[in-house]
C-alpha cells in the first residue's frame, strides 16, 4: 500500500514538474518575442545590455562599437569640411546640417549608451524575470498587449528610416538627389551626402568607393539612432504594464485574505519599478536634451527651407518632396513619442496613488489601514522623465517647443527679407 502511494506521489510530482517546465519554456518564448526586434539592432552594433558576458564577448562588443564609431566619424569630417566652405549660404548651410547634426547625435547616442550599458543590463534581467515568473491570465494579457505596442512602434520606425535610406542612397545612382544641388557642393557626380574630400571623387574607382562608404556609414548611423530610441519605448511599455498589474492588485487589496503578504509584494514590486525608472532617467536625460536641440534645429531648417522655396517660387522635385515628408514625419514622430511616453509613464505612476486611495480602507482593520499611509506618501510624489533634468517629457512641453520654434522661423524669414 505504501509503495503504491509513493509511486502515485512520484508520478504526480513528475507530471507537475513537466507541466511547470513547459510553462517556463513558454514564458521564455514570450520574453524572446517581446524583445526580439529591439535586440537584433542593438546586438548588431554591440550595444545590447547583457549582465553575463565573458571577457572575450565584452572585448568583441567594444571593438565592434569602436569600428562603427570610426566609420561614422570619418563621414562626419568631410561633411563638416563642406559645412565650413558653404557657411555663408544659409540654404546650403541648412541642407548640410540636416545630415551632419543627425550623425553627430547618433555618435552621442552610441557613446552615452555604451557608457551606461552595464547600468541598464539589470533592467533587461528584470524584464526577463517578469516574463518567466507565474502570473494570472489577465496579467499575462496586459504584458503581451504592451509588448505588442512596442513591437509596432519599432516596426514603423524602421520602415520610415528604411524609406529615407533608400531615397537618399538610391536616387543619386539615377542622377536624382534629395538634397539642394549646386556647383559648389556637387561639381560632378552625385553622392548621398553633401561632403568635400581632398581627392577627386568624380573619377573611378574613387567615386564608387566613396559612394559605397557613405551608404554603409548611413546604415550604421541609422541602426543606433533608431535602435536606442526604440529600446526606450520597450522599457517604458514594460514598466507601464507592470504598473497596470500593481494597479489592479491594489484596487482589490481589501478583498484579499492574505492582505499583508500581497501588500508586501506590491511594495517590493513598486520600489523595483521606481529604481528601474531612475536608471532610465539617468541614462536617457542627456540624450533627450541633445534630441530636443536636434529637433529644434531641424524643425527650423525644414520650416525655413520649405517656406523660402514656396516664397521664391522654387518647385521641389517629387524625390525631394517625398524625402522631406519622410524626414519630417520621422523626427516629428520620434520627438512626439518621447514626450507621449514620458507623460504616459507619469499618468501610470499617478494611477498607483489613486488605486491605493480607492481602497475601502475605512472598512479595514485599523492596523491594515495604517500600513497604506506610507505607500500613499510615496506614490503622492510626482514622477517625470526629463530632458537634461531641465524640461519634463510631457506633451505640454512638446507643444511649447513647437510654438517657440515657429517664432524662430518667422524671425529668420524676417531677417532674410
Q: Are 171 and 319 in contact (CB under 8 A)?
A: yes
Residue 23, in any domain of the structure: no
Residue 16, in any domain of the structure: no
Residue 348, in any domain of the structure: yes
The average pLDDT across 277-296 equals: 88
Residue 367, in any domain of the structure: yes
As to burial, measured by CB atoms within 10 angstroms (0-12 exposed, 13-18 middle, 19+ buried), residue 297 is middle
Percent of the chain with pLDDT over 90: 11
- This prediction's pTM: 0.84
Least confident stretch, 21-25, 139-143, 256-260, 280-284:
21-25
Which grid coordinates belong to 264?
508586501
pLDDT, averaged across the chain: 81
pLDDT in tens, 303-331: 777 777 666 655 666 666 777 777 777 77
Look at residue 26 in the predicted model and tell me its pLDDT: 64
DSSP 133-153: S---HHHHHHHHHHHHHHHHH
Residue 3, in any domain of the structure: no
The average pLDDT across 140-156 equals: 89
- Domain span at 75: 41-416
Residue 290, in any domain of the structure: yes
Residue 295, in any domain of the structure: yes
Percent of the chain with pLDDT over 70: 84
pLDDT in tens, 183-241: 566 667 778 888 888 888 888 888 888 889 988 998 899 889 888 988 999 999 999 99
Lookup result for grid cell 492596523: 367
For the chain, what is the domain count?
1
CA distances from 385 to 263, 344, 401 (A): 27, 10, 16
Amino acid at each position: 500500500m505504501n509503495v503504491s502511494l509513493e509511486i502515485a506521489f512520484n508520478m504526480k510530482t513528475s507530471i507537475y514538474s513537466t507541466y511547470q517546465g513547459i510553462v517556463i519554456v513558454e514564458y521564455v518564448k514570450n520574453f524572446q518575442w517581446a524583445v526580439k526586434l529591439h535586440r537584433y539592432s542593438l546586438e548588431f552594433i554591440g550595444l545590447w545590455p547583457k549582465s553575463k558576458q565573458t571577457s572575450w564577448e565584452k572585448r568583441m562588443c567594444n571593438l565592434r562599437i569602436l569600428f562603427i564609431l570610426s566609420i561614422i566619424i570619418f563621414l562626419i569630417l568631410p561633411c563638416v569640411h563642406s559645412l565650413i566652405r558653404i557657411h555663408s549660404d544659409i540654404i546650403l548651410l541648412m541642407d548640410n546640417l540636416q545630415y551632419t547634426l543627425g550623425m553627430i547625435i547618433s555618435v552621442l547616442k552610441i557613446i552615452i549608451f555604451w557608457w551606461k550599458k552595464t547600468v541598464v543590463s539589470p533592467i533587461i534581467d528584470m524584464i526577463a524575470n517578469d516574463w518567466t515568473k507565474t502570473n494570472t491570465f489577465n496579467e499575462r494579457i496586459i504584458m503581451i498587449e504592451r509588448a505588442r505596442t512596442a513591437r509596432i512602434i519599432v516596426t514603423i520606425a524602421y520602415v520610415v528610416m528604411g524609406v529615407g535610406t533608400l531615397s537618399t542612397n538610391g536616387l543619386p545612382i539615377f542622377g536624382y538627389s534629395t538634397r539642394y544641388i549646386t556647383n559648389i557642393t556637387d561639381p560632378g557626380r552625385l553622392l548621398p551626402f553633401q561632403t568635400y574630400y581632398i581627392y577627386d571623387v568624380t573619377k573611378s574607382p574613387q567615386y564608387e568607393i566613396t559612394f559605397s562608404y557613405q551608404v554603409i556609414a548611413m546604415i550604421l548611423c541609422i541602426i543606433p539612432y533608431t535602435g536606442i530610441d526604440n529600446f526606450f519605448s520597450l522599457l517604458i511599455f514594460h514598466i507601464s504594464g507592470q504598473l497596470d498589474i500593481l494597479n489592479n492588485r491594489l484596487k482589490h487589496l481589501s478583498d484579499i485574505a492574505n492582505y499583508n503578504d500581497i501588500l508586501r509584494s506590491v511594495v517590493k514590486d513598486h520600489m523595483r519599478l521606481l529604481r528601474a525608472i531612475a536608471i532610465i532617467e539617468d541614462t536617457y536625460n542627456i540624450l533627450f536634451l541633445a534630441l530636443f536641440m536636434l529637433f529644434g534645429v531641424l524643425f527650423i531648417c525644414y520650416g525655413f527651407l520649405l517656406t523660402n522655396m514656396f516664397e521664391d517660387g522654387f518647385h521641389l522635385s517629387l524625390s525631394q518632396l517625398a524625402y522631406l515628408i519622410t524626414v519630417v514625419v520621422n523626427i516629428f514622430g520620434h520627438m512626439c513619442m518621447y514626450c507621449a511616453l514620458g507623460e504616459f509613464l507619469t499618468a501610470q505612476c499617478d494611477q498607483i496613488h489613486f488605486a491605493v486611495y480607492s481602497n475601502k480602507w475605512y472598512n479595514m482593520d485599523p492596523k491594515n489601514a495604517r500600513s497604506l499611509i506610507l505607500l500613499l506618501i510615496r506614490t503622492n510624489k510626482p514622477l517625470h522623465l526629463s530632458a537634461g533634468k531641465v524640461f519634463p517629457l510631457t506633451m505640454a512641453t512638446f507643444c511649447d517647443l513647437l510654438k517657440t520654434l515657429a517664432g524662430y522661423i518667422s524671425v529668420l524669414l524676417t531677417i532674410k527679407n
